Amino acid sequence: MTADLSLLTAREIRDGIEARDFTATEMVEASLSRVSTVEGDVHAFNQITPGLAFAAAARIDAMADAGEPLPPLAGVPTAFKDNMNLRGTNTTCSSRILQDYESVYDCTAVRRMLAAGVLPVGKCNMDEFAFGSSTENSAFGPTHNPWDLDRVPGGSSGGSAAAVSAGMAVLSLGSDTGGSIRQPGALTGTVAMKPTYGRVSRFGIVAFASSLDQIGPFSKTVDECGLALNAICGKDMLDATSVDLPDEDFTSGMREGVQGLRIGVVRDLLELEGCDPRVRDAVRATVEGLEHMGALVGEVDLPSCQYGMPAYYIIGPAEASSNLARFDGIRYGHRVPDAEDVMDLYLRSRAEGFGPESIRRIMLGTYALSAGYYDAYYGQAQKVRTLIIRDFERAFADYDVLVTPTTPTTAFKLGEKAADPVSMYLSDVFTIPVNLAGIPAVSVPCASIDGLPVGIQLMGAHFNESTLLRVGYAIESMSDFDPVPPLVKTGV
């Protein structure tokens, strides 16, 4: 195959296979060739799955040879975060406690992507159980940012972001509990969407915080993000929180422009201490560009969102401590072989299986839910969550889309914040309120600073993903940002 995988879009791949310009099997070969070239430096994957990818490619090629209509993502190399079950793989959550766990069923979002014709090339590295903002908390080592191998790719879906950024996959899926799709999307120069809570089934994903988790895609372009959403959205009888809405083509209106759309810059978040002034300026310049294209721009405050961080770090760990109680060394996962009794088995298996950040969050959550503290901590945090939801509702009465930076800074150095958990947590200060409110948001690359990507976060009312993609497409069309990092251009 002569085409460079990193330069092909999902649409071009499907159309090329349909026209028999190349085959799905050649797409797998191109993906694995890229993996062999850059994966040793990036470490985006916990597991490469050539057998699954070639088997899927053979089915697509057989359809093409027979002249059958191809599914919408036919032949597109795709990676999945390692907290999503996929039969034929281990689902480890980048944790020692699950390192040998073999998936016995498929995550619904994964299954829907496979039905859309994607080629599963591997399972991606992540912060252990999605606890982190840098993908440094993985039991299997950190992932490196393809834009600068000395820097983090963000987290917790850093492997999924890096796989797309480095051209090893064309699409990937991640999960977002407090920014874990959008934040790594911003730091790696990829388009990264967190859909409305309930848009995408959570069945088959290992839960972090069940009232916050949501699955979403990474891509190089806004159009590809919409194609991936088309595949994964929809009611699932296996997830009671998934919402039954009519099918929607998220790509159909994205080229309509922004004329007349009301864009609200979230002033109080934009001015938060710790936000790099150059990031702030890049976001404001992008908004000015939207205004020149016909958008109606104003400013809005979300006063309760300043309390989003402390509320999230009570609600998230509280739900995590409950969800992770099942990993006890009894039914599956790491188990010490020489326990003296059941209590010794529990204590030693969990102490050996969980990493420091997981232990920290389990302990925080257990404390917040304990007798005498539940109302003071968890109950109060849920009240703050309600105030944040109301702030967004008021803002969306006046604006179609709200705007902030996705992250306060560009990608930071590996190890720079590892010893300071609070500093690390602040990486998600702009993204956390979105999860607490359950609304959709997308990060779109809008500029670069010192050769590192900057992302702008677009937030919408519930189930308004199409408008976000419409604005994202406009930003993409006016931006001169090149989504291909130097590592890919030079071939390392």
**Phi (first) and psi of residue 115, to 5 degrees:** -65, -25
Distance between CA atoms of residues 451 and 422, nearest Å: 27
Helix (H) or strand (E) holding 197: none
**Distance between CA atoms of 491 and 481, rounded to whole angstroms?**
20
Residue 230 region by backbone torsions, left for phi larger than 0, else alpha for psi between -120 and 50, else beta? alpha
Domains of the chain: 5-264+399-490 (3.90.1300.10)
Other residues' Cβ atoms within 10 Å of the Cβ of residue 134: 30
Catalytic residue among 31, 94, 156, 427: 156
- 6: helix, coil or strand? helix
d(CA 324, CA 451): 39
The type of residue at 462 is: H
Q: According to the model, what pLDDT value does residue 272 have?
A: 87
pLDDT at 490: 66
Q: Which residues lie closer than 8 Å to 418 by C-beta, 6 or more apart?
A: 134, 136, 424
Place of tokens 């998220």: 250
- Bridge partner residues of 459 (DSSP): 402, 441
**Other residues' Cβ atoms within 10 Å of the Cβ of residue 299:** 14
User: 191: helix, coil or strand?
Assistant: strand
DSSP string, 54-75: HHHHHHHHHHHHTTPPPPTTTT
Edge-first strand order for the sheet with 77-81 is 45-48, 119-124, 77-81, 171-176, 214-219, 191-194, 441-449, 452-460, 401-405, 262-266, 296-300
81: annotated active-site residue: yes
C-beta of residue 95 within 8 angstroms of C-beta of residue 89: no
Active site residue 160: no
CB 178 within 8 A of CB 194: no
pLDDT of residue 5: 66
Is 27 within 8 Å of 10 (Cβ atoms)? no
pLDDT number for residue 3: 52
Q: How far is CA 375 from CA 361, 367, 372, 383, in A?
A: 19, 12, 7, 10
Q: Examine the residue annotation and report whether 156 is marked as an active-site residue of this protein.
A: yes
Q: Which of 95, 165, 175, 180 is catalytic?
A: 180
| 214-219 and 452-460 beta bridge pairing | unpaired
Q: Please tell me the predicted confidence (pLDDT) of residue 122.
A: 98
Whole-angstrom distance, CA of residue 71 vs CA of residue 13: 12
Closest Cα to residue 310, out of 404, 208, 206, 383? Answer: 383
- The predicted model scores a pTM of 0.96
pLDDT score of 453? 98
Q: What is the pLDDT of residue 1?
A: 46
In tens digits, what is the pLDDT along the chain, a chain of 492 residues?
445 666 899 999 999 999 999 999 999 999 999 999 999 999 999 999 999 999 999 999 999 999 999 999 999 999 999 999 999 999 999 999 999 999 999 999 999 999 999 999 999 999 999 999 999 999 999 999 999 999 999 999 999 999 999 999 999 999 999 999 999 999 999 999 999 999 999 999 999 999 999 999 999 999 999 999 999 999 999 999 999 999 999 999 999 999 999 999 999 998 888 899 999 999 999 999 999 999 999 999 999 999 999 999 999 999 999 999 999 888 888 999 999 999 999 899 999 999 999 999 999 999 999 988 999 999 999 999 999 999 999 999 999 999 999 999 999 999 999 888 888 988 999 999 999 999 999 999 999 999 999 999 999 999 999 999 999 999 999 999 999 998 887 655
Q: Which of 81, 123, 220, 417 is catalytic?
A: 81
